[in-house]
Each structure stands twice: as C-alpha cells, then as structure tokens.
Amino acid sequence: MTGAEFLWPSRVNGSPHLSTRQYARIMRAWVTSIGLEPSAYGTHSMRRTKVAQIYKKTGNLRAVQLLLGHTKMDSTVRYLGVDLDDALALSETVDL
C-alpha cells in the first residue's frame, strides 16, 4: 500500500474510502455474529478498548497518543482514565 491508498476502499463509485456508516454496519454484523448484544458495542467503544489494551500491555502512553491522533498527552490520559495508581504501578516495574 502507498500513503494514498485506503485500507478499506469503498464499493461505491466516487467515494475512495469506506463510510463511517458502512463501518458501523460491518461492526454491528460482526458483534452479532459472535453472539454479543450489538447495542452494547459501537465503533467508538471498540476504538477505546483497543488502545486501552495496548496501554495496559505496554504502558506506552506516547504510542497510544499517536494512535489516537491526540496532540496533547493530557487528552490521552483523560481518554484512557489513567490515574496516579496506574502511573505508580508502572513506575514500580522499572528498575534502575
């Protein structure tokens, strides 16, 4: 892929990428197909879940910030709900 290509191109002529509505339909079908209640899951909750798991496994707030496209680290911290206990637990895993 080049930078000009879309990961999920549209099937509709004139639109280069998948619409947010089509993405939501695909997501709803996927959630339903694995036996979950579709009203409990949405495109935004899945976005938040993915980056929360990345943060939990790596502790790398900067990577999460970049993935989310946040310009301020404060926004990322608030988005994830990182608190002082999280920061202290992470710091205790690093030996100097």
Residue 53 lies in a domain: yes
Residue 39 lies in a domain: yes
Q: The domain containing residue 88 runs over which residues?
A: 20-92
pTM of structure? 0.55
**The residue type at 12:** V
Residue 11 lies in a domain: no
**The residue type at 80:** L
Number of domains in the chain: 1
Of the pLDDT bands very low, low, confident and very high (cuts 50, 70, 90), residue 4 is low
CA dist 80 and 53 (Å) reads 10
Residue 13 lies in a domain: no
DSSP designation for 5? S
Residue 1 lies in a domain: no
Residue 30 lies in a domain: yes
Residue 12 lies in a domain: no
How is residue 3 written in tokens? Answer: 């930078």
Give pLDDT tens digits for 41-75: 888 777 788 888 998 898 888 999 998 899 998 88
